[in-house]
Amino acid sequence: MASVASPKISQKPIAYTAAVTLGMVATVGGALGFQHIGGYIPCALCLLQRDPYYYGIAIGIAAMIAASLRMPAWIVRSLLAVIGILMLVGAGMGVYHSGVEWSFWEGPATCATSATGVATNAGSLLDDLNAFHGPSCTEASLRVLGLSFAGWNVIASLMLAAVAFLGASKKPI
């Protein structure tokens, strides 16, 4: 009696999985670079927009492991679909934040303060934690080609969602 093998993942979804995972790493890595190297302090909404990337990277690594272990195709395709959904959530968060920056609607009350700097005296560090707040979510700290970080996040998230959904739609060979 011949055994029926479960469909295995082809090389194409592996490439989509690697591409979307590396894309998420590059995007959030760029944000962290602007923060730690460029000195741009993120607001509360900026920090929230990173969450789909953090979760997506972990799921992407799981998908790459599943693909490299030649697990059934539906596992990798499902993980890619979850990544696509996370990136759509990230895009929605970016649209919301962009609307707050352009004054289309009100932002959360926690984003109403502005940053004054970072403590340089270690002795007063704990006291300074209560005095320093992140920048306002209503003001873009940088615009490139008319788009803020939130606007560029929308574009990056939509592109990554497209790659993830395209990989999820690929049939195994």
81-110: pLDDT as tens digits: 999 999 999 999 888 888 887 777 776 767
pLDDT(144) > 60: no
Residues 139-168, mean pLDDT to the nearest whole number: 81
Least confident span in 2-6, 71-75, 100-104, 157-161: 2-6
Say what the pLDDT of residue 123 is: 60
Nearest-angstrom CA–CA distance, 138 and 105: 10
pLDDT(8) > 90: no
69-82: pLDDT as tens digits: 888 888 889 999 99
Residue 32 neighbours by CB under 8 Å, 6+ apart: none
Say what the pLDDT of residue 150 is: 79
Say what the pLDDT of residue 88 is: 96
Residue 145 zone, left/alpha/beta (φ > 0; ψ -120 to 50; rest): left
Nearest-angstrom CA–CA distance, 31 and 96: 18
Say if domain 11-169 classifies as CATH 1.20.1550.
yes
Say what the pLDDT of residue 10 is: 43
Say what the pLDDT of residue 172 is: 59
Nearest-angstrom CA–CA distance, 23 and 29: 10
pLDDT winner (highest mean) among 39-48, 85-94, 115-124? 85-94
Residues 50-68, mean pLDDT to the nearest whole number: 92
Nearest-angstrom CA–CA distance, 20 and 171: 18
- Across the chain, mean pLDDT equals 77
Say what the pLDDT of residue 106 is: 72
SS (H, E, C) the chain: CCCCCCCECCHHHHHHHHHHHHHHHHHHHHHHHHHHCCCCCCCHHHHHHHHHHHHHHHHHHHHHHHHHCCCEHHHHHHHHHHHHHHHHHHHHHHHHHHHHHCCCCCCCHHHCCCCCCCCCCHHHHHHHHHHCCCCCCCCCCCCECCECHHHHHHHHHHHHHHHHHHHHHCCCC
9 falls in which pLDDT band (50, 70, 90)?
very low
**2 by DSSP, 3-state: which?**
coil
pTM for the whole thing?
A: 0.74
